[in-house]
Amino acid sequence: MGRWLAGFIAVVAVSPLPSRDTDATRRTAPVLIVRVVEDAGSQPLPNAEVIDLGSGMRPFTNLDGETRIPWPDRGGLRLRVRQLGFQFIDRDVARERNDLRPASTHCLR
């Protein structure tokens, strides 16, 4: 039987990516931080591919099992996580409309 991945996802406003806004007062886009860990041992998985199925963006996780994906202007994200030797997972992640907290955390197993 294949091993499983688990993903820990945090929305962090303190790690913004620059937006494409050209005004003198630049705004920043919120970022989704995805942390990929092995389900059995909860160890971070470096080099896991995290695919945003909507945009086609395909970043890989760093040594801590983390990568960053900008939130879209509308709606949520449909993510696929792949790593050699593991079964892939698909997850839908939604950003709450009126959530004003600087960070919120979603745990996926």
DSSP one-letter string for 4-55 = -EEEEEEEEEEEEEE-S--SSS--EEEEEEEEEEETTT--B-TT-EEEETTT
The number of domains in the chain is 1
Asked if the structure places residue 24 within a domain, the reply is: no
- What does the pLDDT read at residue 30? 77
Mean pLDDT over all residues of the chain?
A: 74
Asked if the structure places residue 21 within a domain, the reply is: no
Tell me, what CATH number does 50's domain have?
2.60.40
Q: What is the mean pLDDT of residues 47-54?
A: 94
Range of the structural domain that residue 80 is part of: 5-14+29-108
**Is the overall model pTM greater than 0.95, yes or no?**
no
Whether pLDDT at 106 is above 70:
no
Asked if the structure places residue 95 within a domain, the reply is: yes
Asked if the structure places residue 49 within a domain, the reply is: yes
- What does the pLDDT read at residue 3? 67
Asked if the structure places residue 19 within a domain, the reply is: no
Q: What are phi and psi of 42, to 5 degrees?
A: 55, 30
Asked if the structure places residue 22 within a domain, the reply is: no
